[in-house]
Amino acid sequence: MFIAAARARKSILGNFQTIGYEPDEAAWRSIRMGVKRDLQARRLRPNVPIPSRRNPIKYLDAVYRETGSIRETFVSFLHDGAWTSSGGSFRLAEEVGVDLLHEADRRLRTDGALQYLEVGGGWAGLRSPPPSKPRDIASLARHFENGLGQNVFFHFTNLTQWHAELPAGIVEHPYVTAAGLSILDTHGLQAGTVDILYSQAAAYFETDVKSFLVAASALLRNGGLLVFNLRPEFAGLVSECARANGLAMRKWCNAGGMNGIIVAFEKQPIAWRTKPPTGNVKIHLPRAELLRPGESSAMLAELDPHPANQRDAGELGFPQMLEVFR
């Protein structure tokens, strides 16, 4: 585990060097923790609900049940941070009222090709039994199997390598962080070609949200869709950076607790971006509760969809949303 973590950190730093990126201390600390959680989470079954460490008995019981190791259970509790179980996937998009299957279908029909990128895809559904409706990369790939590897491509990133091999048309990009997404250009994923960029409980851990949004916007094609969740304390920064990078807010919702805020943006064509903004909003941010990263997947699994909480940006825009969080 220690050797695997050191190797992953080295590969991540190598990627940073290639793109000329230097994370600050907080970002690097968060990435180091993320690498450890990756190595742990890879050993859990998908979608295992791991209780919060605030409830130590339940937490220890669940991790012990999963790992069978008293040592690993206590190390995770005392040192490595909360464990997460990968597998929630499209749940986040459903929460904010975005149907990724419909979006993918529509874009493929209109453009004749589909390029999907997930930041922090974990197992990407490739370890789970197929759901009845496509809800992750694996099941979406099955849905589009005729075009897979020809005009339909699925890409996903992870901080470590989760997969030894994958079907044609599905590509894992290990050792890639949200802020360091521009490395994907050197892997053949060109700027302006991504139709849907999705991240559940992954970009959430990124502390350099500005670099993430710059890189995400560059990868998206005009009209491309970006859906992810963020910590409430980053809401102001996300709002500013999204606007500065031609991303228009389409939907948002407050998923609550450690799921944070879920947002859906659409990349605007250049002409739109030069249009002066309608109404300037001064952003005051609350001193939001600092959320402990690590439990979002499991938390989402516990949520019931609550459409009443979904907002179209036209109905109540992101700036007004910031007011809600004041």
Of 37 and 221, which CB lies nearer to ligand SAM in the complex structure? 37
Backbone φ and ψ for 230, nearest 5 degrees, come out as: -140, 160
Residue 205 contacts ligand SAM per CB under 6 A: yes
CA distance 198 to 117: 6
Binding residue for ligand SAM (CB under 6 A) from 122, 232, 236, 246?
Answer: 122
Residue 159 contacts ligand SAM per CB under 6 A: yes
Residue 202 contacts ligand SAM per CB under 6 A: yes
Query: Minimum distance between the CB of residue 280 and ligand SAM, rounded to whole angstroms?
Result: 31
Q: Which stretch binds ligand SAM (CB under 6 A): 118-126, 188-196, 224-232, 304-312?
A: 118-126
Backbone φ and ψ for 128, nearest 5 degrees, come out as: -100, 155
Query: Minimum distance between the CB of residue 241 and ligand SAM, rounded to whole angstroms?
Result: 16
Percentages of the chain per state (helix, strand, coil), in multiples of 5: 45, 15, 40
Of 234 and 322, which CB lies nearer to ligand SAM in the complex structure? 234
Instruction: Name the residue among 263, 77, 42, 256 with its Cα closest to residue 162.
Output: 42
CB-based contacts of 220, cutoff 8 Å, min separation 6: 192, 194, 195, 197, 226, 247, 267
CB-based contacts of 292, cutoff 8 Å, min separation 6: 53, 81, 82, 258
Binding residue for ligand SAM (CB under 6 A) from 86, 211, 217, 310?
Answer: 86
Q: Which of residues 132-151 bind ligand SAM (CB under 6 A)?
A: none
CA-CA-CA-CA torsion for 93, 12, 148, 138, nearest 10 degrees? -50
Q: What is the DSSP letter of 148?
A: B
Residue 310 contacts ligand SAM per CB under 6 A: no
Of 2 and 276, which CB lies nearer to ligand SAM in the complex structure? 2
Residue facing ligand SAM at closest CB distance? 120
Total residues at the site for ligand SAM (CB under 6 A)? 24
- CA within 13 Å, CB half, 92: 32
Q: Which of residues 213-252 bind ligand SAM (CB under 6 A)?
A: none
Instruction: Name the residue among 99, 137, 104, 140 with its Cα closest to residue 250.
Output: 99
Residue 119 contacts ligand SAM per CB under 6 A: yes
Residue 206 contacts ligand SAM per CB under 6 A: yes
Residue 89 contacts ligand SAM per CB under 6 A: yes
Query: Minimum distance between the CB of residue 244 and ligand SAM, rounded to whole angstroms?
Result: 20
Query: Minimum distance between the CB of residue 263 and ligand SAM, rounded to whole angstroms?
Result: 16
Binding residue for ligand SAM (CB under 6 A) from 51, 81, 97, 120?
Answer: 120
**Using an 8 Å Cβ cutoff, are 283 and 72 in contact?**
no
CA distance 209 to 259: 16
Q: Which two tokens stand for residue 222?
A: 């005009």
**Using an 8 Å Cβ cutoff, are 249 and 262 in contact?**
no
Residue 200 contacts ligand SAM per CB under 6 A: yes
Residue 178 contacts ligand SAM per CB under 6 A: yes
101 to each of 137, 139, 222, how far by Cα in Å? 10, 10, 19
Query: Minimum distance between the CB of residue 198 and ligand SAM, rounded to whole angstroms?
Result: 9
Of 16 and 144, which CB lies nearer to ligand SAM in the complex structure? 16
Residues in contact with ligand SAM by CB under 6 A are 31, 34, 38, 41, 84, 86-89, 119-122, 158-159, 177-178, 200-203, 205-206, 297
